[in-house]
Structure 1
């Protein structure tokens, strides 16, 4: 099958979540099956659920000239950007290509809404006016996290935020790819950031979607999600003439919107199936070429069932090894796609399939090759699924550079 997609080089990447800050901590936590979800003690929230909180976010200091951006979401973004030398890599790309030739494409669901929640508590009691130091455009505004990232690096290229619920930071890879293909930019900072807030915790609770224990994707007794927070980033560039053997490539992207229901997936996983099929087609691959699937795997009864039906519709009854990393990180919502892309990149580079944490009895009705134990095995290509409210679906395929024949699409 001929690919319809020019692969992109993921030259640098990083992730920060409750299981660790940076790649080494993240990899170690996955290998060790680290239990990082904890009983909810976030701010004033009174709910019987578990959360994945990143330590040290409140201690992050904004640069003096960026004080207006100070909110939990942007602080976590800054913390994430400064792991694994990622900020140095972006600055090097800006020097190489020009600061107007590097784009910023970020996914988030609620951005800095926690800052607004705090601001509303301190309204002027008579007029109801918000405090003068609350700056909506630099904090809650959905675009604020991309604006912060852009200003942090003094970039002047295109900047876009995607807010499509839980597929947000998977879809930014597609936005960046289109910008690179059209020649508007030469490199792209893509990523996802979402932080804990009352809106999501109480909101998901009102939908009866929160579990009272650490979430158990694909378990017979799965009963809901555990909300987490995270920041993950990748630097996308066109494929250079020389690639490191363990370099990671973005090989394919599939997107769909089934619009079945505002908060429930299509019961047969129609949109999810289309996204996976499109990703395979764009990469010129067949289902048998995929060695591992990082499932969306939220641990709600309907989402896992719908995804399982979609996976078996595409891959047949003999599915590749698969797991959901949300048992480790929690569901990081708008950051999930980027976090799981980084986990897939680590899996490729280290020949490692992470187990689905907390799951003890796989639901036999879902009929997937779900991994309950970590395993070491060589991986060539992996798929990552991200499916959001409203049927906004995205599947990404990544591969190791040493296994790809890329002569026909190498950049000069």
Structure 2
């Protein structure tokens, strides 16, 4: 079977867009969440918005965000793109992207923005939308295409933008924090939204132009089938996704040294996710970290951004602190980067995303050596 390697990384976040600069800010414990006042009533006006984009119109904003982030990942991988190559793909996901806040665009086909961006980049387009697991599922699809011999290069990830409807919806759902995003903290009270994009270049091992960052060893997904927004209280879907990813990777759970958690900061998600880890990794104690306190909850982009953070952590041996975490909740009894970064020479780690609609996706990466 073809092995999948990660050869390029690109992200655009509330902390910036340069790969190394954003990573350094993460390690320093910085956050890009700041006040974004609006004229309509919200539970909280804090959000992780992009500091380097002055494009207000939502469709143009998403297209620009996707195109420049995917291009940064391609440049990082040193991939030569041929517009006529049927084995080079752009696989991109979002939640609802730009559609919610515009009468002009709300009936646009779900795939249109991906087709437009792929044409600009000279790649074949594939679009998907699985709520907050979209970016992770794009990576899973790319890995499967490469392993099956149907693709050589897949630029995979997600992009999403802030909008009035998304912020109002999370206010109405009660999932928005009244204070700040504090994943896995005893005083957590909700999430805060962000916007951004993340893309990873996956290639079939043996054709890469640069030394890879990591292997993508295994992927697993499952659906809770429990509700539109609330996860399964027993965490069954989470554990099933973890099982499937480790089985595909051919490893045991005690080989996982590092976990980039979903860590949304909501009472329900943090409780269910931490209980699932406590049960699943009982006695193995991987380091657990999370990045939403730095980026905000970027919805369809979050899985890709978290995959990049995990790959960088495996590559550098440094685990960024969980911004906002001061007093961990009781059942998350693992090594946690509280207040400062940790040194960790983990060889294998996983990134887990949990999405509305019951979507759970687990990705297992191994440091390249």
Structure-2-length-normalised TM-score = 0.92
Three-state SS of the structure 1 residue aligned to 2:86 is helix
Question: Judging changes above 3 Å, is the alpha-carbon distance between structure 1 residues 44 and 173 closer, same or farther for their aligned structure 2 residues?
Answer: same
Task: Note the C-alpha offset of 1:176.
Answer: 1.4
In the alignment, which residue of structure 2 is the partner of 1:57?
A: 53
- Give the structure 2 partner of residue 153 of structure 1: 121
Cα shift at 1:236: 0.9
Q: In the alignment, which residue of structure 2 is the partner of 1:66?
A: none
TM-score normalized with structure 1 length: 0.83
- Partner Cα distance (2:106, 2:170) in 1: 24
Residue 335 of structure 1: aligned partner = 301
Structure 1 equivalent of residue 247 of structure 2: 281
The answer to whether residue 300 in structure 2 is matched with residue 314 in structure 1 is no
Following superposition of structure 1 onto structure 2, how do residues 195-344 of structure 1 map, counting pairs within 5 Å?
A: 195-240=161-206, 247-344=213-310
Measure, in 1, the Cα distance between the counterparts of 2:106 and 2:75.
29
Secondary structure of 1:399's aligned partner: strand
1:370 aligns with 2:332: no
- Where does 1:110-125 land on structure 2 (aligned, <5 Å)? 110-113=96-99, 117=101, 119-120=102-103
In structure 2, relative to structure 1, the CA distance for the partners of 1:241 and 1:332 (3 Å cut) is closer
**CA–CA distance in structure 1, aligned partners of residues 121 and 210 of structure 2:** 26
State the match for 2:27 in structure 1.
31
Q: Which aligned pairs between 1:165-204 and structure 2 lie closer than 5 A?
A: 165-204=131-170
Of 66, 88, 95, which residue of structure 2 is paired with 1:77? Answer: 66
CA contact (8 A) 1:170 1:337 kept: yes
Change in 2 beyond 3 A, CA 1:368/1:376: closer
Cα contact 1:22–1:80 (8 A) shared by 2? no
| 3-state SS, counterpart of residue 54 of structure 2 | helix
The structure with the greater share of residues assigned to helix is 1
1:100 equivalent to 2:95? Answer: no
The aligned length equals 367
In 1: Cα distance, 2:257 partner to 2:126 partner: 32
Match status 1:384 vs 2:356 = no
Structure 2 unaligned segments of length 5 or more: list them.
Answer: none
Structure 1 match to 2:327:
361
Is residue 90–residue 155 contact of structure 2 (8 Å, CA) maintained in 1? yes
Choose which of 95, 109, 115 in structure 2 pairs with 1:109: 95
Q: Deviations over 1:101-149 (max 9, x none)?
A: 21121110012225xx2x44xxxxxxxxxxxxx4667xx5421331122
Q: Partners of 2:151 and 2:366 in 1: how far apart? A: 23
User: Cα offset for 1:87?
Assistant: 4.2
CA contact (8 A) 1:39 1:48 kept: no
Structure with the greater alpha carbon radius of gyration: 1
Q: Write out per-residue CA displacement over residues 358-392 of structure 1, whole angstroms, 9 at most, x where no aligned residue.
A: 01111113434332131122221111000111211
Cα separation, partners in 2 of 1:312 and 1:205, compared to 1, 3 Å: same
3-state DSSP class of the match of 2:65?
helix
| 1:396 corresponds to 2:363 | yes
> In 2, Cα distance between the equivalents of 1:277 and 1:189?
26
Q: Distance between the aligned counterparts of 2:67 and 2:209, measured in 1?
A: 29
Q: Report the aligned-residue RMSD.
A: 2.4
Cα drift, residue 294 of structure 1: 0.4
State how far apart, in whole Å, the 1-side matches of 2:118 and 2:13 are: 22
Q: Residues of 2 paired with 1:315 and 1:93: CA distance?
A: 41
Tell me by how many angstroms 1:331 deviates: 0.7
State the Cα distance separating 1:60 from its structure 2 match: 9.5
